[in-house]
Amino acid sequence: MSRAEPIHVLFLCTGNSCRSQMGEGWARSLLGVRVEAHSAGTKPQGLNPLAVRVMHEVGVDISRHESKPLESLREIEFDYVITVCDSARESCPTFPAKVRLIHQSFDDPPRLAKNARSDDEALPHYRRVRDEIREFVQRLPQFWQGVRS
């Protein structure tokens, strides 16, 4: 493969509604043409509107993303699969040996905010996780040094 080809990255979560969507959005925003980022879920549940909102606050538009099953991406040869929740890690399907698996669990914003009385009360949970995912995505290039040679 040539150096010009992007690294193919999949962010995998259970619902593909929040954390994996944020990961995909950050990767596309921060890493640009160096990566081709995707997200999927083991049990897709639909895009979380509060995730869309907090990403919009920092200039990353994920409003056109769709919650999708992993099977819908089967034609893509991923270099990295990043599980962003423990459940996805436990139920992660088998990938070809060349695929590098990375597990980085993040708190589930909907679970953290389940007792919130309003969106405004829930948003700090989403913002914290959003910012943690950003920090992680910014460090991703260290994982693939020399992958495309």
Among 24, 11, 88, smallest CA distance to 52 is for 24
Q: Which of 13, 31, 84, 129 is catalytic?
A: 13
pLDDT of 84: 92
Q: In whole angstroms, what is the distance from residue 112 CA to residue 115 CA?
A: 8
User: How confident is the model over 32-80, as pLDDT tens digits?
Assistant: 888 999 999 988 999 999 999 999 999 999 999 999 998 999 899 999 9
What ranges do the domains of the chain cover? 7-140
- Rounded-to-5 percentages of helix, strand, coil across the chain: 45, 15, 40
Q: Which of 18, 35, 85, 123 is catalytic?
A: 85
User: How confident is the model over 124-135, as pLDDT tens digits?
Assistant: 999 999 999 999
Architecture category of domain 7-140 in CATH: 3-Layer(aba) Sandwich (3.40)
- Indicate the burial class of 32 (C-beta count within 10 angstroms; 0-12, 13-18, 19 or more): exposed
Whether 18 is a known active-site residue: answer no
Whether 13 is a known active-site residue: answer yes
Average pLDDT for residues 79-105, to the nearest whole number?
79
Q: Which of 30, 92, 112, 116 is catalytic?
A: 92
**Which amino acid would we find at residue 10?**
L
Average pLDDT for residues 95-105, to the nearest whole number?
83
